[in-house]
Structure 1
Amino acid sequence: MIKIEKNQIIARDVSWMYFNHRILREAQRPDVPLLERISFLGIYSNNLDEFFRVRVASLSRIAQADQQQLSPAIREAKKAIKQINTLNAEYSREFEQTTQMLTQQLREQGIWLIDDAQASPEQREYIRRFFRDKLNGTTQPVWLNGPGQLTDEDDDVIFLAVKLKYAPSSSRYPQKNFAIVKLPVKKVGRFLRLPDHDGHACLMYLDDAVRLCLPWLFAGLSYNYFEAYAFKFTKDAEMDIENDLDVSLLQKVQRGVRSRKRGEPLRVIYDAAMPRDLLKKVMGKLRLDRLDTTVAGGRYHNHKDFMQFPDCGRTDLKFPRWESVLPAAFESQDSLIDKIMKRDLMIHVPYQSFDAYLRLLREAAISPRVESIKTTLYRLAKDSKVVETLVTAAKNGKKVTVVIELLARFDEASNISWSKKMREAGINVVFGVEGLKVHSKITWIKTTEGNLACIGTGNFHEGNARVYTDCLLMTAHKKIVDDVNRVFDFIHSPFRPVRFKELLVSPNNMKRQILQLIDEEIKNKRAGKEAYIHVKINHITDPDVVRHLYKASAEGVEVGAVLRGNCSMVTGIPGLTENIHLHGIIDRYLEHARILIFAHGGKEKFYIGSADWMPRNLVNRVEVMTPVYDPRLQQELRFIVDCGLNDTVQARVVDGTDNPQIWPVKPGREPLRSQEVLHNYYRQMREEENESGNE
């Protein structure tokens, strides 16, 4: 048994900070279009907000737990929080510098982001009308000397802390007062497009527009001096789900969503220029004297709004548009069910259109030979075509069963709403297994002539399918299809023994079989057979998987991984991890597919599915990975993974340090950008289908 030292494993949360830093690095690249770099700033900020609301919340709870019961865990949690805060402070400075650099580059391109002091008289008049038409009535001040607490307010929004003064002592109002104003970003947007000035497109933060409107906002109170400073706070977003056997899971989640709104503040970011007396008032209303995660920042916060930064008509500063293609098999009027009965089909979104799945679901909803449909749903689009099609199926007399995960983080309220709509339509709605999130992406369709199934790596979500890279297998392979039906049986009766013949299913057999697959590569290497492990996956943090991969590397097995997020492995350790190569890809699409390839002595094994190699996926969720047997689809999966492993434009070296360099171009080769290669690959495939008439 190999010995692994503590410093040879990266803590999950530190690894996550490194990952998010890679996104910040994309915003600094001169070869990325300017408005896309602005968007990467927004993605970085949005990720960080969610990280503090979820992961840091969990760590804080542990750190504050009973000292005697959890002393080792408490020490680790406190250590992690300290590391996170150190990295966050460093990255925050880098973020501010990057923002200033990009703001200047926007000016050079004729897009001016101006503040309230720079507004021309014409622009000030425009803002006054904007206040009258849009802000008046939606922007309400709240006095800081009132009875309420700021913790009663929504978190993750922007507030202006306002200091008001009135000089004459004879005034019937206090000479000095304090208030807060919540910015109505959801209603009017974060960036206000102003009239052009000297031929330049002009934008203003909503923060500054409201600053200019403060005299009108406090009209009638005789205050004549205003200072306003931005701040935001992030609450603990973990939900307390009660253990009451007399209460349904639906009721528990509904209560949990409400309890989240009362969560304790975890992080406060405020304008460093805020006067001490005003800051003291704000912190008092948050019931905080001091926080380790209090950050004195710049003038503006909630930079996630950069993801919706106006392009001002400058599409030349964005990535060129890539259209999804619809494979020929899904365009003809012939039955998709018949085609899938004859051979497996697969789509790879967003290179290929998600309409392919909708086309199959629509046929199932109206075909007389379809008797029942079962599917899992984790996250759904705002106006979900998937749900609408399932409702149609129920109206047409099909027996429809939907397993919807109520605990899909931050989508709980949306999923509760969808579940009610589906129940009203006569759909059998199942809320999964309490204590096990149903994260699998599966659909099962029963017909009078046989059954078929879909197993995917991503959500049945039209919006996600436009920006997330995911694969979806459609098959009539009897053993696989029967196994998919058994997954639904397992969800319905989780304590009944079940054996899967083809699928890897968490928490049933997946982890055990993955470890066996890794060990088989070690045995094959020792026997002189071909041995390697190539995967495309989001995260690798499970300690047992990491140990087995380290052992495989030490035995000479090549381990290549295309990653998006967390990874606990440290590469390049002599005699241990020299054969592990990790490629972290950040590009225009979010890498999300999970593909596993094992050499298997020269007869490769292929799997796709919903699970990452993390404890939560392998132990605490219902996940599904399916083998892929069709040689054509195996070849396609091989090409997808190879593209990632050979990317020398967007792939960074992930080695356990915080200095991610782009993978170097090998001698005699051209730079390769995997997403661009795949985009062209699927376009060419579609053109060849048109020319040959083949599907």
Structure 2
Amino acid sequence: MPKQSNIINRELSWLSFNHRVLQESADKNVPLVERVRFLGIFSNNLDEFFRVRVATIKRMIDIQHGKQRVEGIKPQRLMNKIQKKVLNLQNLFNATFNKLLNELEEHGIYIINEEVLTKSQEKFVKQYFKEKVRPVISPIMLHNIEDFPYLHDHSIYLAIKLSCSDDPTVKEYALVEIPTDLLPRFIEIPSKNGKHYIILLEDIIRSSFNELFSFFKFDTFAAWTIKLTRDAELDVDNDVSQSFLEKISKSVMGRRTGQPVRFLFDGEMSKDLLEFIIERLGLDEDNNLIPGARYHNFKDFMGFPNVGGKELEYKKMPPVGHPDVQGNKSILDVMREKDFMLHVPYQDFNIFISLLQEAAIDPEVTEISITVYRVAHNSKVINALSNA
């Protein structure tokens, strides 16, 4: 009998950690809206896990070094374990989300789709589509193009099947990118009955397929959400003619065209459309084909709006200042006198931003060294450093 390893593989351990994040969504001691946001944190974590850690394992499989192991486990076997655990977490995630939908309804908050709209709600949605959504989306008809459209890593898409009711053999496929970089994912529909109704951006698009495809002869539409995750590992080559900064910049740009490492799709998706997309993208089982529910890119749920009472989220705790940094006093002058510690988020993070801004314009500062692990999309840190 082979000796059992006492080492817990770090990738499987990380998935257990993210499982604990998901458990926060089921914990009734956590305010309800915060629990919904924990779904977003779980999803965002998992996206990064596939972009970096799973991408590395996939590269090891592709290299096919038979003796290569990851903490005692062969890469392919580890990938199988990861996929099994991810599918189990996906099922738990879907069950948790459905429970949260019921609890939200108990508090008068309803996440609805295009199939249950009232006349007044439909009027609002149609107008919103016409004014806000239609100008920023462009459907791509898939049968008439030689190369399949490039799917962006952080985006979600509606894969659409168009057909004619009088002749089902006439069909077409189309793709629409959901413009969450331009419009909010969650739209509250005005209500007069004291209840709060939220519809997702992709469902607003679903509601207006007749208008979106008005130039075609199709009258029957079905759509499912898909998402592709790409390899985001950095490749730094040994070109001696390039500076380290140039190598890193080139590697970061290469992330945009990384190889697929995960394909998420609606489990109810039409089989013929699913097979068409998988074939055109050149995907196989090694790309972690993962069936899910109606919605993807749950990372957006980190910003789920609280349209109910204050008790549904944590009380806002404004940060305090620092006794050594008051008013317009120079932070560099304070540091010349003594060291001081800044403890965020309890103390104001803007003190650190002020330090970077001051250092960026101080002629006596010749170099700023900082280790950056993760920054916001519109980062104050990067903005301050770019001025240096």
Give the alignment's TM-score, normalised by structure 2. Answer: 0.89
Partner residue, 1:251: 246
1:144/1:282 contact within 8 Å kept: no
Summarize the Cα distance change of 1:245–1:278 in structure 2 as closer, same or farther, 3 Å threshold: same
Confirm or deny that 1:384 pairs with 2:380: yes
Cα deviation digits, residues 356-386 of structure 1 (max 9, x gap): 334555666778xx73353224255635367
Deviation at 1:6, TM superposition (A): 5.3
Deviation at 1:293, TM superposition (A): 1.3
2:260/2:287 contact within 8 Å kept: no
Partner residue, 2:310: 315
Partner residue, 1:283: 278
Partner residue, 2:321: 326
Confirm or deny that 1:224 pairs with 2:219: yes
Partner residue, 1:147: 146
Summarize the Cα distance change of 1:66–1:162 in structure 2 as closer, same or farther, 3 Å threshold: same
Deviation at 1:334, TM superposition (A): 6.0
How far, CA to CA, are the matches of 1:233 and 1:335 in structure 2?
47
Paired letter, 2:36: I
Summarize the Cα distance change of 1:263–1:301 in structure 2 as closer, same or farther, 3 Å threshold: same
Partner residue, 1:185: 180
SS in 1 for 2:204: helix
Deviation at 1:182, TM superposition (A): 1.1
Deviation at 1:226, TM superposition (A): 0.5
Counting matched residue pairs gives: 381
Deviation at 1:104, TM superposition (A): 0.8
Unpaired runs of 5+ in structure 1?
A: 391-417, 428-695
Q: 1:45 aligned to 43, 53, 72, which one?
A: 43
The farther-off stretch of 303-312 and 285-294 is 285-294
Cα deviation digits, residues 577-598 of structure 1 (max 9, x gap): xxxxxxxxxxxxxxxxxxxxxx
Paired letter, 1:147: E
Partner residue, 2:364: 371
Q: 2:289 aligned to 294, 302, 305, which one?
A: 294
Q: Equivalent residues in 2 for 1:97-136 (5 A)?
A: 97-136=95-134
SS in 1 for 2:264: strand
How far, CA to CA, are the matches of 1:135 and 1:93 in structure 2?
32
Paired letter, 1:210: I
Deviation at 1:93, TM superposition (A): 1.0
Deviation at 1:156, TM superposition (A): 3.1
Q: 1:235 aligned to 215, 218, 230, which one?
A: 230
How far, CA to CA, are the matches of 2:292 and 2:234 in structure 1?
29
Give the alignment's TM-score, normalised by structure 1. Answer: 0.51
Paired letter, 2:25: A
Summarize the Cα distance change of 1:387–1:209 in structure 2 as closer, same or farther, 3 Å threshold: closer
Alignment root-mean-square deviation, CA: 2.6
Paired letter, 1:307: M
Paired letter, 2:367: K
1:265/1:286 contact within 8 Å kept: no
Partner residue, 2:61: 63
Summarize the Cα distance change of 1:350–1:166 in structure 2 as closer, same or farther, 3 Å threshold: same
How far, CA to CA, are the matches of 1:286 and 1:243 in structure 2?
31
Summarize the Cα distance change of 1:149–1:254 in structure 2 as closer, same or farther, 3 Å threshold: farther
Cα deviation digits, residues 137-161 of structure 1 (max 9, x gap): 32211122221224x2212321111
How far, CA to CA, are the matches of 2:46 and 2:343 in structure 1?
29
SS in 1 for 2:35: helix
1:63/1:75 contact within 8 Å kept: no
| Same amino acid, percent of matched pairs | 33
How far, CA to CA, are the matches of 1:300 and 1:380 in structure 2?
26
Cα deviation digits, residues 431-462 of structure 1 (max 9, x gap): xxxxxxxxxxxxxxxxxxxxxxxxxxxxxxxx
Q: Which has the higher strand share?
A: 1
Partner residue, 1:85: 83
How far, CA to CA, are the matches of 2:298 and 2:314 in structure 1?
21
Q: Equivalent residues in 2 for 1:183-582 (5 A)?
A: 183-196=178-191, 198-291=193-286, 293-312=288-307, 314-331=309-326, 339-358=334-353, 360=355, 371-377=364-370, 378=372, 382=378, 384=380, 388=384, 418=386, 422=387, 427=388
How far, CA to CA, are the matches of 1:334 and 1:263 in structure 2?
47
Cα deviation digits, residues 383-441 of structure 1 (max 9, x gap): 536754x7xxxxxxxxxxxxxxxxxxxxxxxxxxx3xxx4xxxx5xxxxxxxxxxxxxx
Summarize the Cα distance change of 1:166–1:102 in structure 2 as closer, same or farther, 3 Å threshold: same
Cα deviation digits, residues 245-280 of structure 1 (max 9, x gap): 123333333432333222221111111111111111
Deviation at 1:77, TM superposition (A): 1.6
Cα deviation digits, residues 54-95 of structure 1 (max 9, x gap): 100000010121335x54459522222122112111111111
Paired letter, 2:255: R
How far, CA to CA, are the matches of 2:4 and 2:270 in structure 1?
44
More RCO (CA 8 Å, sep 6+): 2
Unpaired runs of 5+ in structure 2?
A: none
Partner residue, 2:28: 30
Summarize the Cα distance change of 1:184–1:386 in structure 2 as closer, same or farther, 3 Å threshold: closer
2:151/2:228 contact within 8 Å kept: no
1:167/1:175 contact within 8 Å kept: no
How far, CA to CA, are the matches of 1:51 and 1:88 in structure 2?
11
How far, CA to CA, are the matches of 1:279 and 1:356 in structure 2?
51
The farther-off stretch of 118-127 and 233-242 is 233-242
